Amino acid sequence: MIKFLNNNENELLKVFKIYTEAFPLSEQIPIEVLHQRIKNKRENVLGYYQNCSDDKEHLIGFATLFSLQHFDKKEKYNFTVLNYFAIDNNYRGKNYGYLFLEEVINTIISNNTILIIEIENPYNSDPSSVEYKRLLFYRKINCVEYPDFAYNMPSFSDNNKIEMKLLSVIGKNKDLNQQNNIVLSHFILDKIKLAIYKQMYNLDESRIKELT
């Protein structure tokens, strides 16, 4: 079961615990910044719940969705970034991550919205590496890959950059019960990249130039 948690401070504390355990410092924006964006509904938090052995509902994972704004009005689709996505360490390896993300795409993301996903560059990695396994995970939900599109994420623990790749997947059409993926042009990907830098990461022009 998925619940929106923007207004539930007790559950957000559990989310932040998973957040600090799941992501390296270089990928963590300060909790107070994330919390403020959540309170202002600039970023939505989804909690994933399962009934466990004690027959009680437990928060076992979360996702945050950041909607990009101010795109060309002629653009047919909206774009939302899967900013953070994690399953509690105690529940990993049980297919919950796939079930959670599939439910997000099938029920939360509308069929005129394209979900943008950032992953560490897996294409030069060993097939047994975490980076490559993460790519295989997203392939299970039919993400479109853009291996030739350059994208760097700012490190939040220093002034370095992290080589990433973008993926995309469109929300499922509930009326037709189908998903028709869209391949984005590099022109649109460049606009998405700039919007992420300015809106989600709040970077100035000099830092953007360093990343590109």
- Tell me the pLDDT tens digit for each residue of 84-107: 999 999 999 899 999 999 999 887
More confident residue, 73 or 15: 15
**């796939």: which residue's tokens?**
98
Nearest CA among 21, 100, 113 for reference residue 66: 113
Long-range CB pairs of 143-147 (<8 Å, 24+ gap) are 143/117, 143/167, 143/168, 143/169, 144/168, 144/169, 144/181, 144/182, 144/183, 144/184, 146/184, 146/186, 146/189, 147/123
Residues 211/161, Cβ–Cβ less than 8 Å? yes
- Rounded-to-integer distance, Cα 127 and Cα 24, Å: 21
pLDDT beyond 50 at 176: no
Q: pTM value?
A: 0.91
List, in order, residues 6 or more apart from 115 with CB less than 8 Å away: 65, 80, 81, 82, 104, 105, 109, 168, 169, 170, 171
CATH topology for 64-211 is: Aminopeptidase (3.40.630)
Please report where in the chains the tokens 């910044």 appear, as a residue.
33
Cα–Cα distance for residue pair 86/62, rounded to 1 Å: 6
Strand pairing category for 78-87 and 113-120: parallel
Per-residue tokens: 142: 């039919």
Which amino acid belongs to residue 60?
I
- CA–CA gap between residue 106 and residue 104 (Å, rounded): 6
Q: Report pLDDT digits (tens) over 40-84.
A: 999 999 999 998 777 789 999 999 999 998 766 677 888 999 999
185-194 mean pLDDT: 95
